A and B are shown apart, each in its own frame.
Chain A
Amino acid sequence: MANITIDGVQYEVKDGRTILQALDDLGLLMNGVDVPHYCWHPKLSIDGSCRLCQVEIKGQPKLQIACNTPVADGMEITTANERVKKAREGVMELLLVNHPLDCPICDQAGECKLQDYAYEYGVAHARTKEPRRALKKRVDLGPTITFDQERCILCRRCVRFTREISKTSELTVNGRGDRSVIETFPGFPLDNDYSMNVADICPVGALTTKDFRFKIRVWFLDDKPGVCTGCANGCNVHLGVANNQVYRYVPRRNDAVNETWMCDEGRMSYKQIGAPDRVQEALVRSAVGGLVSTKLEGAIAAAATKLRAATSGGAGVVAALASAHATNEDLFVLRRFCEALGTETMGVAVPIGRADELLIKAEKAANGAGARALGFKDAQSVVDRVKAGAVRALIVLGHDALAALGGETALAGLDCVILLDSHHSPLERAAHVVFPARVAAEKRGTITNHAGRVQRLVPAIEPAFDAFSEGEVLMRLGQALGLAGFAPGVSFNAREVSRAIGQAVPAFAGCDYDAVGDEGRLLGGAGAR
């Protein structure tokens, strides 16, 4: 450890770190101690080229760049005197010599570090009378990214990202001096599973995603903390919300989960929220066979009637096929529901896909680990009992079980199929009652990622139609059935259920909604962060 002084305050920092890294470790960088920087990024190699992070170090005649200067015991650093201020002004002025200053038509405006730092650390007017460099404004770098060469300040974060993180090396700097431009190699577009991260780390409006570009001005967006539910990794995200609509996901830094990255597929999964195939109303199968829309109360009553009839022959004929998209709280209510009905036939269907070594996990749902920790077995165990004719009534969450069932016809002979789903699927053809379920962005609750980290979902938007957490539907259904433990008049409260899980399942102790915070906490008391 080394003791260093920054602006008169002493800190103990790890040896072998540079000044910027030490500030980042302390959580102080641009959050108490302002050392503006462009080329440095906490998860990329040090470049040392933008020269904006210059600080004064006692005993050294020249200003030094904080990103590449290792800390040393007794080092005294000044980040904000007149000399440092002048140096920053100089760099900012030079960065703007060739910048097109087209902020009014630039999609980065509002979250642009060039804009922010120019305002904060720059000078108010330009002295250059020379023409700025005229370059291409819309370069198609690949399927996801558009590049404006004129806006680029050549920090080369994107180049390092493709070399060090995606390991695909599509980008390079071509040319020299003030003719330098970022380019792809002929015939090799920027096309990898993580390509859109380059737009996040681009400090200016040079790299923008084709998806988000020109959709909305970012100052209209509220950034809500959330978690991507596209796979079991549970990458932390900010949901960009306006007009009760999610416009984008951008990664939210969590060094224990996704550092500062997320995959393109996960990023695009926000489109599921507002997809046209959302289940927007409760549906009950009519006497003539079709599904008819109903109010929630009618559907609860219909489901209760169906379930009561199916179980009149005795317990043990009920089964549940859960979804790994449901929250721990939804699943816990389902578990209690099944227990009250006297069945232990509970499985969870987890869709499986491609995995890689960076973030992408094979389980294509967020909460498989949570379901298993709550006692849900593999979906196959339930499917086997269904196919053996041992099941008369089935409660299904989501439609991921379709694969294990081999199609909805496997459920054709059942007396009661209650489906809780957010999106339409062929499974509805076998359902007697369908409840519209909320998606993660609309819910409060917790999910458990592949490593056993419990992370929380904060509702970012309200659905434009009546949709419910699965836990809420099951709670009401349990109350309608008069099941033990489903006291009438109690409404579903994810926070309370979350605490109840901690009391009932030892692994979840200390991992309730409020305790896990925005960074999550590992199951089994394995430690916060």
Chain B
Amino acid sequence: MGLKAPYVTNYLTQHFADDAFGQVDGYVARGGYEAARQAISRMSPEEVSTLVKDAGLQGRGGAGFGAGLKWTFMPKGNEKPKYLVCNADESEPGSFKDRLLMERGPHQMLEGILIAAWATGAEKTFIYIRGEYAYAAKQLQRAIDEAYSRGYLGARVMGTQLAHDVVLVRGAGAYICGEETGLLESLEGKKGQPRKKPPFPAMYGAFGMPTTVNNVETFSHVPHIIKHGKDWFRTLGTEKSPGTTIFGVSGHVVRPGLYELPLGTKLDEIIFEHAGGVPDGKRVKGVIPGGMSMPILPAGQLDVPMANEFLRERKSMLGTGGIMVMDETTCMVRVASVISYFFRDESCGQCTQCREGTGWMNKIINRIERGAGSSEDLDVLLDVAGKMEGATICAFSDAAAWPIQGLLRHFREDFEAHVREKKCPFPASFEL
């Protein structure tokens, strides 16, 4: 085990340096499972959903959809079994927060799941964890077993009327299985391909049953909101984006790692004060603020508060909070090549625009990097990206288009230099 706790902690991660927090006894000793007991025995499911909604908890999986609101989409009544799915398929390049939450705080997440189960009437939760997270899966399974043996899971949770089972399922390694309906297909043993909507998961989800899918971090926030209330939650973060999140900082920084900070913390503060800035006295060239699918920001825009309402103004988004810092040596065409290769490789191939567009973009970008591009290629690139946007079954196609649009928006000069000089003018950049 290398990393045990984030460099900066807050309520989510404050005990993560403490090995005992990952065990059921240690977790209970630090007040664990009290929030679940309180929610189940003293609150109605509607009250729980309303509280989480009023607290303003945004989903932390990338899209930022309101968690409490999502819960209310589940049908009332018990005609069909209802399920929760915990999306632990953390696969956005630049994102590695969920891994820590599962390795160091598995019971915190399970407690959040119990509260959500109470709010939605779900009888079972499937935790879909990416296959590569072997250690996290081991920790989670141990925690699940402990929770069963102590009556935190099973027929009568903590002696209450809630019955809840948790099943851990390991994925086989595809980015698209992190998309909620691609995940559901994979969970059912099928090829991971997103489903067309309608029907939405709340009506037709896992195995055809009403299902809510939430991210690991989203669940992990829930016990704290129950315990401390919505007003406390709203003291952290911004008005529209309350609470903290765990920023994962990687790339050209002195201290890459995880930082739990309130939403709205400024990007330059995270990079320079917390992550120690760029090594070797180099300057920042660009920063991807929220995982690879979010558009890049140039060095001049690092004063942006890290919350969706501010990032959207800069035509980017918070995504999963994975911050990737690139210094002045970086060739942005190579960055585009890496990104477009990833999305080409990971496109499930269902929708025309995504299947063909990801490949086409990647080929054009590679040709530009080789010095064989023309200025028309840049227009074609933007045009293809535009065609891929907003027209497919899932958001993957947008996620493939946005970063390329962002790179061309802020670093078009890099592309044009390749065209002009008929070679890559950044010899010191990372190699492809």
Contact = CB atoms under 8 A, between A and B. Distances in A.
A180 B348 CA distance: 8
Interface in B158-211: 174, 191, 196, 198
Contacts of B198: 68, 70
Interface residues of A, number: 36
B364 interface: yes
B359 A176 contact: no
A114 to B, nearest CB: 12
Nearest to A95: B352
Contacts of B393: 48-49
B96 to A, nearest CB: 24
B346 interface: yes
B174 A176 contact: yes
A175 interface: yes
A87 B363 contact: no
Interface string B342-356: 001111111111111
B367 A130 contact: yes
Contact of B357 (A87, A94, A179): A94
B356 A95 contact: yes
A11 B393 CA distance: 28
Interface string A37-48: 000000000111
Contacts of B345: 176-177
A178 B196 contact: no
A178 B359 contact: yes
A80 interface: no
B358 interface: yes
Contacts of B355: 94, 154, 177-178, 180
B370 to A, nearest CB: 12
Contacts of B348: 176-177
Contacts of B351: 49-51
Interface in B324-364: 344-360, 363-364
Contacts of A63: 391
Given A97-B360, A98-B359, A130-B363, A177 B353 contact: no
B344 A130 contact: no
B276 interface: no
A178 B391 contact: no
B418 to A, nearest CB: 15
Contacts of A47: 196, 350
A46 B358 contact: no
Nearest to A70: B198
A20 interface: no
A65 B358 CA distance: 21
A321 interface: no
A47 B393 CA distance: 10
A133 B362 CA distance: 13
A91 interface: yes
Given A68-B198, A130-B363, A91 B380 contact: no
A95 to B, nearest CB: 6
Given A50-B352, A127-B380, A177 B347 contact: yes
A54 interface: yes
Interface in A486-502: none
A52 interface: yes
Nearest to A64: B391
Interface in A140-187: 153-154, 173, 175-180
Contacts of A354: none
Contacts of B196: 46-49, 65, 68
Interface in A113-146: 127-131, 133
Interface of B: 174, 191, 196, 198, 344-360, 363-364, 367, 376, 380, 384, 387, 390-393
16 contacts: A48-B393, A49-B350, A49-B393, A62-B390, A95-B352, A95-B356, A97-B359, A98-B359, A127-B376, A128-B360, A154-B350, A154-B355, A177-B354, A178-B347, A178-B359, A179-B349
Given A70-B198, A94-B384, 5 more contacts: A90-B353, A98-B359, A153-B352, A154-B350, A177-B358
